[in-house]
Structure 1
Amino acid sequence: MGVIETHSWLEEDAHAPEEMLMKKGLTKRKAAELYGYLKMFGMYSPSANTKKQTASLIKREAWKKMDILYKKYRTLWKGPSVPIYIFPVQESRGFFSNGFKKSGVSFRDEIYLFISDDEDAKEWEALFLHEYHHCTRMNLLEKDPEQYTLLDSIIFEGLAEDAVKEYCGNQYVSDWTKKYSGYLLEKLWNQHFKNQLHLKRQEARHDQLLLGRGRYPALLGYAMGYYIVEKYRKKYGTAAKEMMTLDAAVFIEDEQETES
């Protein structure tokens, strides 16, 4: 599969994203549901600036550059063949922002990337790498995504961003990896995480802890996952490619042995 030429979709239907997503073969209702979901992760809303954003991304060859990255990391990781859809990012938002505007969401069988035209191309690589790492790991694990637990989710995020550090450099790692001290994370682990690791994705508290909603600090679960993976890497010296196949429980074995 690889990168889908959504620039032609945008040139025709950027003003009507739900209709545009019907080019995937979706019904109008399914396209509307998908667009609502993607907006939560940073997909653009039509504005007077959308046409200009699209033209700028085309000029910067965003689709060609992302396809090169897809081929690079698919070969390196023996990753899956999946379609990758690129759209402008919602202005002034993005989960993985590091002073730039970018975001994305991945599934086992497809990836969506939301980018802006004012980014360092290496930021595009960091975003692509993060999302394709998720997709590759999902395909390597013999587990139904509906059965993923809070532990699975935080380790997914930690591993993906650890891979960004290894392949792109520390300067391209997201701000949330450095947001909280080790002391605070250890404290919050004991107070809120270690007895809740079984929570499934469908349970409300899963996302409260993962995303840092309500009384929890922003993106707490992401930061927690990175902290755990970083500790594991420092202790065992395992590279990102090798860690990708490990079960999430492996990363907290030392913690559990200490407690027992």
Structure 2
Amino acid sequence: MGIIQTHEWVQELVEEYEEKRSSDFYYSQLKKIGEPVSKHFPSSTPEEVLYHLQQNGLFQPGEWRKIKPLLKSMRDIEIWKTIEVEFVRLKKQWKGPDIPIYVFPITRGYDKRQEKNKNGLAIKEAVFLFLSATHSSNELKAILAHEYHHVCRMNVQKLNEVELRLDDLLVLEGTAEQVVKRVYGKGYMAPWTTAFKENEIKPYWNKYLVPVLDSKDHEQNMKLMYGNKFGRPPKWMGYNAAYHLVNAFCRKKGLQKIEDLFHVSAEEVIRESTFVRPRS
């Protein structure tokens, strides 16, 4: 599978609207993007899938005029080629699954939440990347590696992304950033990895995360991961705890191979780290 030539989808979408062959950009976006990728989300309608992608960074219908120059800039720096070459390399090195990679222009408003104008979404059988034309080659590779690591780990651990427990989510995010650090260097890690030091995050781990590590409540779990910049729990709490949790585990166990992280359960990571899970 590998990289899907989604720039052709977006180009056709914009041209269709420019030439007034469509008067409803949302409907066109649904037909060109929502419907083709809905096969990866069998329990959701194309409308629900499109909304899900928009929530994760896909450009909005009202932004169509800005998409054409952005798309050209993305093609000029060969984003699709860069992602494709790195995917082939990682797949071979990690012996990972052959999945489709979908790359789309990111909505202009998304960086207000992420502090970086890029985002990714991984499910067991596909990766979606939402990007701009401002990223270096290594930044592109790092976000791909982060998301593709999710795919590899979810498949090895037989995790269900729809019913992911909080402990699995934490280890999933923490191991992905461990991969980025090892392969591309600390400079390409997510900003949330430095939000707190290890000793600073542990009190929040014990107070907010330990009591609900078994939770499968996705909405509540994501609130804990993102935190709250205006109060408690603090912003990036869960993500930062995830990084330090896995970092402590790797420091203690001395793991040498990235592939080893695919096979270690969340329970073992927590048990063997300095973030000991209290016995029930």
Counterpart Cα distance in 1 of 2:109 and 2:276: 44
CA–CA separation in structure 2 for the residues paired with 1:128 and 1:114: 11
| Residues 6-38 of structure 1: per-residue CA shift (max 9 Å, x gap) | 1110111145422221561759x9322111111
Q: Which of the residues 24, 49, 55 maps onto 2:36? A: 24
The offset of 1:257, in angstroms, is 6.3
Asked whether the 8 Å contact 2:270–2:277 carries over to 1, the reply is no
* Cα offsets for 1:35-65 (capped at 9, x unmatched): 1111111111242211001111111111111
135 and 201 in structure 1: CA distance in 2 versus 1, 3 angstrom threshold:
farther
Residues 42, 253 of structure 1: alpha-carbon distance in 2 compared, 3 angstrom cutoff: same
Take 1:187 and 1:168, find their aligned partners in 2: how far apart are those partners?
Answer: 30
Tell me which residue corresponds to 2:223.
208
Q: Is the 8 A contact 1:57 1:116 kept in 2?
A: yes
Q: Aligned with 2:45: secondary structure?
A: helix
- Could you tell me how far apart the structure 2 residues matched to 1:73 and 1:197 are? 31
Unaligned runs of 5+ in 2: 15-24
> Partners in 1 of 2:100 and 2:223 — Cα distance?
30
Q: How many residues align?
A: 257
**C-alpha distance in 2 between matches for 1:258 and 1:60:** 46
In 2, the alpha carbon distance for the partners of 1:51 and 1:185 equals 43
In the alignment, what sits opposite 2:80?
Answer: 63
Give the SS at the match of 1:42: coil
Who is 2:12 aligned against? 12
Larger displacement relative to structure 2 (2-11 or 141-150): 141-150
- Which residues of structure 1 form unaligned runs of 5+? none
Report the secondary structure of 1:49's partner residue: helix
1:163 and 1:188 map into 2 onto residues whose CA distance is 24
Scaled by the length of structure 2, the TM-score of the pair is: 0.84
Asked if residue 198 in structure 1 is aligned to residue 214 in structure 2, the reply is yes
Match of 1:233 among 250, 253, 276: 250
One-letter amino acid matched to 1:35: L
Q: C-alpha separation between the residues in 2 aligned to 1:23 and 1:58?
A: 24
Output the amino acid matched with 1:86.
Answer: V
Q: Is contact 1:87–1:114 with CA below 8 Å preserved after alignment?
A: yes
Q: State TM-score, norm by structure 1.
A: 0.90
CA distance in 2, matches of 1:21, 1:196: 36
Of the candidates 167, 178, 183, which is equivalent to residue 199 of structure 2? 183
3-state SS of paired residue (1:194): helix
**CA distance change for structure 1 residues 95 and 106 in 2, over 3 Å: closer, same or farther?**
farther
> 1:167 Cα deviation (Å)?
0.4
Q: What is the Cα deviation at residue 96 of structure 1?
A: 9.3
**Map of 1:93-112 to 2, 5 A cutoff?**
93-94=110-111, 100-112=116-128
Say whether residues 1:42 and 2:57 are aligned partners. yes
Counterpart among 180, 183, 189 of residue 164 in structure 1: 180
> In structure 1, the residue corresponding to 2:212 is in which secondary structure?
coil
Is the 8 Å Cα contact of residues 123 and 172 (structure 1) preserved in structure 2?
Answer: yes
Note if 1:246 corresponds to 2:270. Answer: no
Q: Which secondary structure state, in structure 2, belongs to the residue aligned with residue 215 of structure 1?
A: coil
Over the aligned positions, Cα root-mean-square deviation in angstroms equals: 2.3
Evaluate the alpha carbon distance shift between residue 256 and residue 51 of structure 1 in structure 2; reply closer, same or farther with a 3 A threshold. closer
Deviation, 1:258, is 8.3
Mapped partners of 2:277, 2:197: distance in 1 = 21
Q: For residues 202-258 of structure 1, what are the alpha-carbon distances to aligned partners after superposition, in whole Å with 9 as ceiling and x for unaligned? A: 4x4222212225732222211111010111111111132211211011111145868
Letter aligned with residue 11 of structure 2:
E
Residue 258 to residue 22, structure 1, CA distance change in 2 (3 Å):
closer
Moved more, 237-246 or 15-24: 15-24
